[in-house]
A and B are shown apart, each in its own frame.
Chain A
C-alpha cells in the first residue's frame, strides 16, 4: 500500500510542477499536496486505530484544502464545504466504531484487538433478534469506509470534488484517499471475518455502488466527472471483493486501479490543460492527430480499466468476478451479476469518452485547436511511468 501511495504521490508532484506552472499560488498548492503526502502514509502505517484516525481526518483535511484551492470560484467552495461534512458523516460511523472496539477490548492497538477478537460474545436481544456487538462495530467501521470511499449513500462528494485541479483528482480521488476506506477494511479483516451479517452488508453496498456509479457515468459530459464516477464504480468492486472475504484480491485491485486511474486523470488533465481549461467533452474532438502521445496514454489506461485481457485491470477485475461467481451465496451471486453489468457500462463510458475527446470530428473552438500543444516533458514522464504500470504491473504482481 505504501508503494502505491508514495509512487503515485511522487508522480503527481512531478506532474503538477508543470501543470501549475502558470498559477500564482503554486507554492500553496505544493504545501497542500505535501500535507496530503504526510497524512496518507501516517494512515497506512498506523499500528493502532488512533493513528489511523489521525491520518483519516488529515487526508480529509487535505482534500478539503485542495478542492477549494481556487477559492475565488464559488463552485469549488461549495464542493469543498460539501466534502468535509460528508466525510464527517463517515466519521460518525468510524469514531463510534473505534470507541466500540475500545469498550470491548480496552485497547486501540490493532494486534491486540485482532488477537482478542473471538466469536461473538457481547450481544443483546431486542425485537426478537440477536445483535452482536462485533456486528455493530463492523457495520460502523464500514459506514466510515462509505464516507471516505464515496460508496452509495455518501457518494455525492466525489463528482463535485472534481472542482479541484487535476493533479489533486489524480492523487486524492483516484489513487489514494478514496482507497483509505478499502484499506481500513482490509486492515481490520481479522475483525470483519467474525460477523457474517456485516460482510453481507458490505457486499451488497459495494455491488450496488459499482452498478449505480457506472450507470451514472455513461451520461456525463464532463471528462473528469466520467472518470470520477468510474472511480466510484471501481471502489465498489473493491468493497464487494472485501465483502466476499477476499481481502488480498481487493488490495491487489486497489493497486492496479491506482495506476490506470491516475493515468486516466493525468492524461485528461493534459488534454484540459492543452485545451485552455475546457472540460466539456462535447466541445472537444478530433484531438487524436494533435495529441498522439496523450491519446495513446489514455487508450492504454482505458483498455486497462475495462479489463482487456492480459493488461493490468484484467488480472484483478476478472479474478474478482470469478470469485464472486464461485461464492455460492445470495450476496455473492448478486455481486457477480451487478459486477458483470458494470463491466459493460465501464467499457461503454470509457470508449465514449475516448471517442468524444479524440476521434469524432472537431467540435471545439478554433483558437483552442490552434494554440494546443502536446504534453511537455514534466507532464509526459509520469504518464509514461503510469502507462508502463498499467500494462505490466498486473502480470508482474499476480500471485
Chain B
C-alpha cells in the first residue's frame, strides 16, 4: 500500500506491538480460551502485515485458512474440553520450561542474525525463460499463479490432491446451503435471539464453557436447518438440536429437569424417525441416482397417494416440534424446567423450526396433499388456540403458563399455513418472527423475576411491582404485545392471518365465518391469562421472606435485552413491511403451485 511514511511507520509499530502482545498472551494467559483468542489476534495481525506489504493474496489466505479454519478448530476443542481447573497450575516452573526457554531464545537470536545478514536482493527468484512473461504482470496473484504452475509444479500437485480429498469430504457433508425469502426472517431472528439469550445467561457460574459451546452448537443447528437446500442436510441439522437441548436442560434446569429432558428427547426423536423415513423416501424415489436437493424434489411430481404418505410422515415430525396438539405435551415440561436462556432459544426458535419445515417441505414439495389436508390444519390450529388459551389460566407455574401461551400463538401459524392464500402465509411468517421475539422476551422476564424471588408458583407471589418497577413495566408491555395489542407485531400477525383465512379461495363462506368466530374467541381468552398472571405477580401488597440482597431491580444488561426485543416488536407493529418485503415474492412463488392450471 502506498501510504505516506509516518502513517506506514505508525501502523507497522501498532501491528507489531499487537502481534507481540498477542503472542505473549497466547503463552502466558491462564485461561485457555483467552489464549486461543489471542492466537486469533496474532494471526489477524499477521494478515494485516501482509496487506501492508502489498501481498493481498497471502493476507486473504492467512485469514481464511488460519483464522477461519484452524483457529476456529482450536477454539472448538478448547471449549468442548471444559477443563476449567487446569489453568490454576500454570505458575509452577518446571525443568521443561527452562529448557524450552533456552531453545527458544537461541532460535530467536539465530533468526535475528540470519535475517539481517542475508542479502535478499541478490537472490534471483525467476529463471531466464520467465522474465519475458513477468514484465507484463502487475498483480501478485498472477505472479504467484505463474510460479505455482512452473517452478513449484510438483509440490502444487501434491498439495492439490490433499486439498481435493479434504474438499470432497467437506462437500459430502456440507452439501448445499441457500437462503430465500422464507428463511431469511428466521435466520435473522435466530442470530438476534441467540445473542440475547447468551447475554441473558451471564454470568454462567457452572461449566460456562460447555454452556457457551452448546449455545453455539444449537445456533449452528438452527441456522443450518433454516438455510439448507438439501433434505439430508436438513435432517442432520434437525437432529443436531437434540443433544444440546438435552444437555442444557439437564445441567442447568429446574427441579424436574431430567424428566423433562428425557421427555423432550423421546418425543422429538420419535418424530424424527418419521422425518428420516420421509427424507429417504423422497430422495430415493423414482430415479436411479438419489437426489436430496430441494429444487429437484420440488419440481418432481409424485402420485397423490405417495404424496399423502410422505406428507403425513413429515407432518408428524413437524407436529411434534411445532407443536401441534395433541403432540404438544413435551413443551410445558421442557419450558417449565429449563433455564430462561434455554427457554428463549426453545420458544423463540426451535418451535419455529417446525413451522418452517411445514412451509418448506410440506407446502413446497407436496402441494396436492397439502391442499387435501389444509382444512384439517385450519381446524387443528383453531382448536389449538382455544385449547391452549384455556389451559393456560389453570397453571400454577409461571413458566408453564407462558409455555401454554406459546402453544396458543403457534396455532395462528398453523392456520396461516393451512389457509393457502398469500396473505395467510405472509401472516404465518410474520407470526413466526413476531412470536419469536415476544415468546423469548416473556421467558426472559419470567426468568429474571424468578431470579429475584425464587418462587415458581404464582399464588405464592404478589406485590412485586413496588420493588422491581422496571421489570414490572417491561413485563406489562410485553404481556400487552402477547395479547395482540395494536401497535405491536403480534396484532399485525394475527390480523393478517385473519384476513388470510377470509381471502382464501378454497373454502366456503360459512366455514370461513365459523373459523373467524372461533379465532375471535381466542382473542377474548388471551387477555385473561396474561392479565391474571400480571396481577398475581405484581399487584397487591405482600411482605416477602426473600433475602433482600437479591431483590433489586433490573440493571443495564437486562434492560438492554428487554429493549432490544421490544424495539423490533414495536417497529414491526407499526411498519410490518420490514418483514413482508422479505417474504412476499417467495410466498407468491410457493402459492403459484397451488393455483396453476394443472392443479385439480
| Interchain CB contact under 8 A, B520 and A95 | yes
> Which of A80-88, A340-348, A369-377 contacts its partner?
A80-88
Interface residues of A (CB under 8 A from B): 50, 53-54, 56-58, 61, 64-65, 68, 71-72, 74, 77-78, 80-81, 84-85, 88-89, 91-92, 95-96, 99-100, 102-103, 106, 124
Residue numbers in A under 8 Å from B510 (CB-CB): 124
When C-beta atoms are compared, the residue in chain A nearest to B466 turns out to be A72
Residue numbers in A under 8 Å from B512 (CB-CB): 103
User: What 0/1 pattern do residues 525 to 539 of B give for CB contact below 8 A with A?
Assistant: 011100110010011
| Interchain CB contact under 8 A, A74 and B523 | no
| Interchain CB contact under 8 A, A89 and B524 | yes
Residue numbers in B under 8 Å from A58 (CB-CB): 485-487
How far does the Cβ of B388 sit from chain A's closest Cβ, in whole Å?
Answer: 17
User: What 0/1 pattern do residues 503 to 533 of B give for CB contact below 8 A with A?
Assistant: 1000001101100110011011011100110
| Interchain CB contact under 8 A, B486 and A57 | yes
Residue numbers in B under 8 Å from A77 (CB-CB): 535, 539-540
Quick one: given A71-B465, A72-B539, are A53 and B498 in contact (CB under 8 Å)? no
| Interchain CB contact under 8 A, B532 and A53 | no
| Interchain CB contact under 8 A, B499 and A72 | no
When C-beta atoms are compared, the residue in chain B nearest to A65 turns out to be B476
Residue numbers in B under 8 Å from A95 (CB-CB): 498, 520, 523
Residue numbers in A under 8 Å from B532 (CB-CB): 81
Quick one: given A85-B527, A88-B524, A96-B517, are A72 and B463 in contact (CB under 8 Å)? yes
Residue numbers in B under 8 Å from A92 (CB-CB): 520-521, 523-524
| Interchain CB contact under 8 A, B535 and A81 | yes
| Interchain CB contact under 8 A, A54 and B486 | yes
Cα(A367)–Cα(B531), bound, Å: 40
When C-beta atoms are compared, the residue in chain B nearest to A53 turns out to be B486
How far does the Cβ of B508 sit from chain A's closest Cβ, in whole Å?
Answer: 10
B486, B517, B540, B541, most chain A CB atoms within 10 A: B486
Top 5 nearest A-B pairs (CB, nearest first) are: A54-B486, A77-B539, A71-B539, A72-B541, A103-B502
| Interchain CB contact under 8 A, B502 and A102 | yes
Quick one: given A72-B466, A81-B535, A85-B528, are A96 and B520 in contact (CB under 8 Å)? yes
Cα(A54)–Cα(B487), bound, Å: 7
Identify 15 residue pairs between A and B in the complex whose beta-carbon atoms are under 8 Å apart, listed by A's number: A54-B486, A56-B486, A57-B491, A64-B531, A71-B540, A78-B535, A81-B531, A84-B527, A91-B520, A92-B524, A99-B498, A99-B502, A102-B503, A103-B512, A124-B509
How far does the Cβ of A68 sit from chain B's closest Cβ, in whole Å?
Answer: 7
Does B67 have its Cβ within 8 Å of any Cβ on chain A?
A: no
Residue numbers in A under 8 Å from B541 (CB-CB): 72
Cα(A81)–Cα(B476), bound, Å: 13
Cα(A38)–Cα(B532), bound, Å: 26
Does B383 have its Cβ within 8 Å of any Cβ on chain A?
A: no
Cα(A64)–Cα(B592), bound, Å: 45
Residue numbers in B under 8 Å from A80 (CB-CB): 531
| Interchain CB contact under 8 A, B485 and A57 | yes
| Interchain CB contact under 8 A, A91 and B523 | yes
Give the residue of A50, A88, A100 whose beta carbon is less than 8 angstroms from that of B527.
Answer: A88
Does B33 have its Cβ within 8 Å of any Cβ on chain A?
A: no
Does B42 have its Cβ within 8 Å of any Cβ on chain A?
A: no
Residue numbers in A under 8 Å from B491 (CB-CB): 57
How far does the Cβ of B195 sit from chain A's closest Cβ, in whole Å?
Answer: 30
Cα(A109)–Cα(B463), bound, Å: 44
Cα(A302)–Cα(B146), bound, Å: 101
| Interchain CB contact under 8 A, B539 and A68 | yes
Residue numbers in B under 8 Å from A100 (CB-CB): 513
Cα(A56)–Cα(B487), bound, Å: 11
Cα(A88)–Cα(B485), bound, Å: 11
Residue numbers in B under 8 Å from A72 (CB-CB): 463, 466, 539-541
